[in-house]
C-alpha cells in the first residue's frame, strides 16, 4: 500500500528559499527631483528596478502595455524582470534617456534634477541585481510588475525609505552596505505584501504561494530536487488528482510542474557550481541527475554553457552564504 505524505504550505518557506538563492543585491542609483513637464526612459540593463514616489504623482509606461500605471505619493513599484519603462508627469511628455541625464550631472550630490519648473515629483529610484540575472530559470518567473499602493505599504515602507533616502543623499562610512541591505528589505517586504494582496488565482508564480496545495507542491520540489518527481507523485503528495493538479499548477505558476522542477534544478546547480569545489558529477547528483552527461546536456540547454565552462567563467564571482552539497 502506498502512503501519500501531504505537506502543508507552512512546512517550507518557499519565498525565502527562492529569494536566498537568487542572491539579491540592491543599490540606490538616484534620488530624483523632477518638475513638470518631465519624462525619463530607462532601458533594460540586466537589473531589476524599483521606484518610490515620495512626493507628487507619476505615470509608468512599459512597451506593449496599453494601460499606463498611475503612481501617487507613497506608492512603490518594482520591475523584477528589468524591462524597458518610462516614468513621466504625463503620458504624452517625450522622454529623455536616464543615461543622458546622469551624464549631465546634477547641481546637488546624490540628487538627480530634471524638468521644466512646474509641479514637482520626488522619487527614490533603485536597482536590484540577481546573481543569475533577470533571465535566470527562476527569476524569469517573477511577475513583470509589482505595484504596492501607499495605503498598503505605508506601515512598513516609510521608516525604511526615510533611512534609505537619508543614506542616499548624505552618504558616509558604511553607507553603500547599508543602502544595499535596505533595498533588499524593500524587495522582500514588497514581494510578500503583494502576494498577500493578490486575489485567488492571480499574481503568477508569487501569487501561487497563496494557494495552499500548489505552495505545498513547490515546497516538495524545493525540499528534495534530487527526487525523480512525476506529476502524479507531486499530485499525491498534496492530496490532489493528477489532471486537476497539473492544470492548477500551470495556471498559477505559469509553467507545468516538471518544467518548474527543471528550472529549479538548473537554478540550484548554478548556485552550487559558483560556490562549491565539488565535482560536476556531485552537483549533478545533488540536483537529481543519474549521470554527469545527462546533467551537462540539460545544463547547457538552459544556460548556454556546459557546467565546467560555466564554473570557470564565474570563478571570479564574489560569493557569500554558501550552500553545502551534503
Contact 130, 139 (CB under 8 A): yes
Question: Which pLDDT belongs to residue 168?
Answer: 72
Please, which pLDDT band fits residue 199 given cuts at 50, 70 and 90?
A: low
Mean pLDDT along residues 6-21: 59
Residue 240 has pLDDT above 90, yes or no: yes
Q: In this predicted model, what pLDDT tens digit does every residue of 262-307 receive, in sequence order?
A: 999 998 998 899 887 889 999 999 999 999 999 999 999 988 889 9
Contact 140, 79 (CB under 8 A): no
Cell numbers that stand for 296 in this block: 551537462
Which CATH superfamily, name and number, covers 206-313?
Homeodomain-like (1.10.10.60)
Question: Which pLDDT belongs to residue 131?
Answer: 73
Whole-number mean pLDDT of the chain?
82
Residue 318 has pLDDT above 50, yes or no: no
Mean pLDDT along residues 222-243: 95
- DSSP output for 225-288: TTS---HHHHHHHTT--HHHHHHHHHHHHSS-HHHHHHHHHHHHHHHHHHH--S-HHHHHHHTT
Mean pLDDT along residues 6-34: 68
Check residues 174 and 244 and name the one with the higher pLDDT: 244
Please, which pLDDT band fits residue 176 given cuts at 50, 70 and 90?
A: confident
Q: Which residues contact 43 (CB under 8 A, 6 or more apart)?
A: 84, 97, 98, 99
Please, which pLDDT band fits residue 5 given cuts at 50, 70 and 90?
A: very low
Contact 4, 237 (CB under 8 A): yes
Check residues 288 and 325 and name the one with the higher pLDDT: 288
Q: Which residues contact 4 (CB under 8 A, 6 or more apart)?
A: 236, 237, 239
Q: Which residues contact 111 (CB under 8 A, 6 or more apart)?
A: 30, 31, 32, 33, 169
Q: Which CATH class is domain 17-197?
A: mainly beta
Cell numbers that stand for 13 in this block: 518557506
- Going from N- to C-terminal start, the domains of the chain cover 17-197, 206-313
Please, which pLDDT band fits residue 81 given cuts at 50, 70 and 90?
A: confident
Q: Coil, strand, or helix at residue 171?
A: coil
Residue 8 has pLDDT above 50, yes or no: no
Counting residues of the chain whose pLDDT is more than 90, the rounded percentage is: 39
Amino acid at each position: 500500500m502506498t502512503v501519500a505524505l501531504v505537506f502543508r504550505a507552512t512546512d517550507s518557506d518557499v519565498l525565502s528559499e527562492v529569494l536566498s538563492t537568487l542572491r539579491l543585491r540592491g543599490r540606490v542609483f538616484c534620488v530624483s527631483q523632477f518638475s513638470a513637464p518631465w519624462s525619463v526612459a530607462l532601458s533594460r540593463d540586466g537589473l531589476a528596478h524599483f521606484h518610490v514616489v515620495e512626493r507628487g504623482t507619476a505615470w509608468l509606461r512599459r512597451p506593449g502595455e496599453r494601460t499606463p500605471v498611475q503612481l501617487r505619493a507613497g506608492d512603490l513599484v518594482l520591475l523584477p524582470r528589468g524591462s524597458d519603462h518610462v516614468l513621466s508627469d504625463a503620458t504624452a511628455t517625450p522622454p529623455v534617456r536616464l543615461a543622458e541625464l546622469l551624464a549631465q550631472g546634477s547641481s546637488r550630490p546624490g540628487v538627480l534634477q530634471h524638468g521644466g519648473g512646474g509641479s514637482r515629483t520626488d522619487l527614490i529610484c533603485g536597482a536590484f541585481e540577481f546573481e543569475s540575472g533577470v533571465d535566470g530559470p527562476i527569476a524569469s518567473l517573477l511577475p513583470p510588475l509589482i505595484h504596492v499602493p501607499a495605503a498598503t505599504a505605508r506601515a512598513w515602507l516609510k521608516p525604511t525609505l526615510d533611512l534609505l533616502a537619508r543614506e542616499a543623499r548624505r552618504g558616509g562610512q558604511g553607507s553603500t552596505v547599508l543602502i544595499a541591505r535596505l533595498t533588499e528589505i524593500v524587495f522582500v517586504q514588497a514581494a510578500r505584501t503583494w502576494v498577500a494582496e493578490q486575489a485567488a488565482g492571480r499574481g503568477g508564480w508569487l501569487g501561487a504561494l497563496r494557494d495552499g496545495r500548489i505552495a505545498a507542491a513547490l515546497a516538495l520540489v524545493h525540499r528534495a530536487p534530487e527526487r525523480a518527481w512525476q506529476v502524479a507523485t507531486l499530485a499525491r503528495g498534496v492530496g490532489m488528482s493528477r489532471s486537476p493538479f497539473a492544470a492548477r499548477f500551470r495556471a498559477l505558476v505559469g509553467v507545468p510542474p516538471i518544467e518548474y522542477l527543471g528550472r529549479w534544478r538548473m537554478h540550484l546547480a548554478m548556485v552550487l557550481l559558483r560556490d562549491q569545489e565539488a565535482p560536476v558529477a556531485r552537483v549533478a547528483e545533488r540536483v537529481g541527475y543519474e549521470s554527469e552527461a545527462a546533467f551537462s546536456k540539460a545544463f547547457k540547454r538552459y544556460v548556454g554553457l556546459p557546467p565546467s565552462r560555466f564554473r570557470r567563467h564565474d570563478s571570479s564571482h564574489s560569493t557569500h552564504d554558501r550552500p553545502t552539497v551534503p
